[in-house]
Amino acid sequence: MTLLAADPTPAVAPRTPPRVAELQARINGMQSSAPPSRTIPTRADLALLLPGGLREGAIYQVRGSTSLAMVALAEASAAGRWSAWVGWPQLNAVALTAAGIRLDRTAIVPNPGTHWLGILAGLADAMSVLVVRPPRAARLSPGETARLAARLRERGCTVLVDGEWPGAEAELQLEAHVWHGLGDGHGVLLDRQLRVRVRDRSGRVRRGPVGVAAPLGQTLRAVPTAPLEQSAQLTAVDAVEWAVSA
Amino acid sequence: MNRALAVWVPDWPVVAAAAELALDPTAPLALIHKGLVFACSGAARSAGVTRGLSQREAQYRCPSITVARYDESTDARRFEPCVRALEAIVPGVHIVRPGLLAVRARGPVRYFGSEPLAAAAVRDSVLACGVPDVRVGVADGVFTAEHAARASTRTAPILSVPSAETAGFLADLPVALVSPDERTGTLLRRLGVHTLGEFAALPLEDVRRRFGAAGVWAREQAAGRDPSRLVPRELPPEFAVQFESDTPLERSDEIAFAMRSYADRFDAQLRAKRLVCTAVRIELTDEHGSEVSRVWLHPRWFHAADLVDRVRWQLDGLFRAAQQSGADPRLEVAEYQRAGIVRVRLIPERVDATAHHESGLWGGGPDERVHHALARVQSLLGPEGVGTLERRGGRSPAEQQVFVPWGDAPPPDSRLQQPWPGAIPGVPPATVFPTAEPVRLAAADGSEIRIDERGHLSGVPAELQLHASHAPRSVQSWAGPWPLQERWWVSDAAPARVRCQLIDGSGDAWLVVGDEQGWCVEARYD
């Protein structure tokens, strides 16, 4: 009996050990969470403007900027998803890489011509993100758009359209560029920010800045120098050194 | 002992290249590999050209020399008829390298009666393929037989070295012939070992301690005990499929339709051997006998439908090229259409075991879906219709990338790591115009900005007009001019140019390039 008397167990013992409580909390957390949000990986600054990020199987209008489209799919591409650019004969591979897009997972259809809708439907089976610039004269009947939208929803393929698209999930519009690094006769474009306006289906408008990554590094040291005058030259070099140190 | 019979065609690379390029093999001719003479014809050799000379030195010694690039595949391909000719009379032919064959002597000697008779028969069979000179050596082992063939002369083209004389025959040859690498060869010479005889006289244990297993192997060869065995080649099975039409066919869809069953057969033949084809050569022959061939690669492997697609693309390209050439297009088309296609051959260039391409238990994964989707786009738009971008080195944005059609191998030399002075650092432009568009860049007083010969601007850029019909945009900020000097060593190169970055009033940024003619917009930062 002495043993019992010496029992160090406190009078109010926790009913469940902490490990069990932790596991229970995790189960509760998993049960209570909303159905899995079906979004593709989206950059944090863009996800602020599009709550939750870009949704799978939805159509977005991206207007006024190629860079904005690159930023929108960058995270998904970096995560290893396939994307295709339909109708872009003038893309720059360096800019794609700088935005964080994997070139080996990015297919380009430079000139889809009159087949563009069929190509879009075919690529939707395999690609995670499509970036489309419809031909100028493209006219779509409501039936065609509805069929395509249904197919995209079914396949979970996100489409970014540079142009008009009825019934788009949201419209991303470039309002202004904010440039850094270029002066009056000196400097070089070193960094930029996009001021983006997003209007969703319900008409709510959000505004915010979105950064575009620029490759800083050894390439900056190779600034060609032959500006107008000596002072300008110095400023250009200063700007570059600032960028390298930054 | 292991008697071998070596068949050697002197200067084979030259003979092959002369036949390939329709040159005269008796004229001075040198084949260049990595800037050095790899092989040269007899006429060039008598003028003092030797193997290992630099191209310029060879041209200096023999000004009338014709120089061509050495091509390994030509060498091997042209040698195939000689191998077949020899195989027709002797089984088990071992190809040491293009230009040198070896067979075990025992069989032919017993069949033809004696070594000289067998050697003569072998020599005649190879001579019959139109080779100017063939030498035959019979000796113990392939190594000795090869050098016996090399030691023969034009008047006595067959040399037989009896077994007892093998070591004596080899003794005077230079030691470099057996040294496993260049370093060992140099080392042996420095140690005072110059000939095979001297090398073979070294104690075996010492050679093993100093040079290891490779050295022991070399010493065995030097002593005339050739440890290498003859490995007869296995006859490659015939997979090529040929379609022939009695009436010349003039339309690509006609031919593609006719090809369908042949493509199926091609596919079935390979599958029966558990092989898949990953590269195919398609040869088209028209009724005048001219031949167009091209190799097509596939990112996975060719199905029958893919083959038909490739045939169609090649025909379309051919007909388009025929339309574009010539001053009078109508005449050319009519001319070409009369020259219909009479023969199509599908030849597998590269095959692989099916096991390497088997899809997994749960299917091939997303990449296979991607491939099917892109291949379908390709069959709609043609091979250039879809592809990927690859980065490469360059100064202007347009040079810094290359479009690789889906399924093609990317160009091997990207030169991405090189410095490229003159490339613009900082933010890369998102849009690059494939051909630079002319624009007007003006100063505040409306005068167009000119560039002087030192690359200075005549004024401060204030207005950018993208197109004659557009309103001019005001320039907010700008930088430059950055000189761009390329290919100044070529006389007809483009004159020196300068580049500027501009931001216009609406916030758009542009990269413009200017020369004496005016300004063009190269890229847009949009």
Query: What is the SS3 string spanning B48-59?
Result: CCCCCCEHHHHH
For B14, the token pair is 């030259």
Beta bridge partners of B297: B279
pLDDT of residue B489: 77
Residue with the larger pLDDT of the pair A25 and B204: B204
**Best mean pLDDT range from A19-33, B41-55, B298-312, B412-426:** B41-55
pLDDT of residue A34: 44
For B183, the token pair is 């370093």
**Is A118 in Cβ contact with B526 (below 8 Å)?**
no
Confidence of residue B303 (pLDDT cuts 50, 70, 90): confident
For B16, the token pair is 């092959």
Residues in chain B with CB shorter than 8 Å from the CB of A135 are none
CA B447 to chain centre: 53
| Mean of the per-residue pLDDT values of chain B | 84
- Average pLDDT for B352-371: 67
Residue with the larger pLDDT of the pair B479 and A6: B479
Q: Which amino acid is at B7?
A: V
Residues in chain A with CB shorter than 8 Å from the CB of B482 are 224-226
pLDDT of residue A123: 92
Residues in chain B with CB shorter than 8 Å from the CB of A107 are 370, 374, 386-388, 406
Q: B175: buried, middle or exposed (CB in 10 Å: 19+, 13-18, 0-12)?
A: buried
Angle at B297 between CA B291 and CA B302, to 5 degrees: 100
Please say if the pLDDT value at position B324 is more than 50. Answer: yes
Sheet with B341-353: list strands edge to edge: B241-249, B341-353, B275-286, B291-297
Give CA–CA dist A88/A111, Å, rounded: 7
- Give the residue from A70, A83, A96, A109 with the most B CB atoms within 10 Å of its CB, the best one to mutate: A109
pLDDT of residue B332: 45
- For B373, the closest of A106, A126, A240 (CB atoms) is A126
Give CA–CA dist B122/B468, Å, rounded: 78
- Average pLDDT for B232-252: 79
Q: Which among B232, B378, B202, B251 has a CA at the least distance from the CA of B305?
A: B378
- Average pLDDT for B220-236: 73
Give CA–CA dist B46/A131, Å, rounded: 66
Residues in chain B with CB shorter than 8 Å from the CB of A196 are none
A49: closest CA of chain B, how far (Å): 20
Q: Helix or strand or coil: residue B439? A: strand
B261: closest CA of chain A, how far (Å): 27
Give CA–CA dist A219/B425, Å, rounded: 6
Q: Answer for the pair B509, B503: CB distance below 8 angstroms, yes or no.
A: yes
- For B388, the closest of A64, A98, A104 (CB atoms) is A104
DSSP string, B8-28: E-TTHHHHHHHHHTT--TTS-
Of A128-132, B299-303, B423-427, the range with the lowest mean pLDDT is B299-303
Residues of chain A with pLDDT under 70: 1-16, 28-37, 213-246
- For A103, the closest of B388, B426, B498 (CB atoms) is B388
- ipTM of the modeled complex: 0.73
For B359, the token pair is 């899809």
B406: closest CA of chain A, how far (Å): 8
- For B433, the closest of A90, A214, A224 (CB atoms) is A90
The tens digit of pLDDT for each residue in B54-88 reads 999 999 998 999 898 888 888 888 888 888 888 88
Q: Answer for the pair B173, B167: CB distance below 8 angstroms, yes or no.
A: no
**Is B374 in Cβ contact with A107 (below 8 Å)?**
yes
Instruction: Provide the CB-side half-sphere exposure for B228 (13 A, CA).
Output: 22
End-to-end Cα spacing for chain B? 79
Q: Answer for the pair B105, B118: CB distance below 8 angstroms, yes or no.
A: yes
- For B388, the closest of A108, A176, A219 (CB atoms) is A108
Give the nearest chain B residue to A107 (CA atoms).
B388
- Average pLDDT for B472-492: 82
CA B95 to chain centre: 21
Name the DSSP class of B97: E
Give CA–CA dist B206/B215, Å, rounded: 10
Residues in chain A with CB shorter than 8 Å from the CB of B434 are 89-90
pLDDT of residue B338: 53
Residue with the larger pLDDT of the pair A224 and B466: B466
Q: A75: buried, middle or exposed (CB in 10 Å: 19+, 13-18, 0-12)?
A: buried
Instruction: Outline where B128-251 has alpha helix (H).
Output: 141-151, 166-171, 182-190, 196-200, 204-222
The tens digit of pLDDT for each residue in B79-130 reads 888 888 888 888 888 888 888 998 888 888 999 999 899 999 999 999 988 8
pLDDT of residue A238: 42
Q: Which among B154, B150, B156 has a CA at the least distance from the CA of B174?
A: B150
For A226, the token pair is 């032959």
Confidence of residue B235 (pLDDT cuts 50, 70, 90): low
Give CA–CA dist B69/A156, Å, rounded: 53
Confidence of residue B367 (pLDDT cuts 50, 70, 90): confident
Percentage of chain B modeled with pLDDT above 70: 91
Residues in chain A with CB shorter than 8 Å from the CB of B381 are 109, 111-113, 115, 119
